[in-house]
Amino acid sequence: MTSSQHRADDVAGDLKRWRATMGITQDRAATLLGIPLPTLQGMESGRGYRHPRVLNLALEALVRECQS
């Protein structure tokens, strides 16, 4: 497994866990993140994302916002 594939798998897992924790659909998640639904679906299927750190920061911010 290449390093970039490992990161893509990490992003996919992070997104799926985040959605499960928040109880939201892919469509709602895409809207909250400001990305097209096909982009989110691709990320969840392991195709990756160019800026995984930015995505993780966005997910963390959304979780904090929803918890307060």
| Per-residue pLDDT at 25 | 93
**Secondary structure of residue 46 in the 3-state scheme:** coil
CATH number, domain containing residue 47 = 1.10.260
* Residue burial 38-65, b: 16+ Cβ < 10 Å; e: rest: eebebbbeeebbeebeebbebbeebeee
Q: Which residue range forms the structural domain that includes residue 39?
A: 3-67
Encoded tokens for 35 = 């990305």
Confidence check: pLDDT of 5 > 50: no
pTM (2 d.p.): 0.69
Closest CA to 60 of 12, 25, 26, 21: 21
How many domains are there within the chain? 1
Q: Are 22 and 62 in contact (CB under 8 A)?
A: yes
| Per-residue pLDDT at 37 | 92
9-64 pLDDT per residue, tens: 777 888 888 889 889 999 998 888 888 899 889 888 887 667 667 777 777 877 77
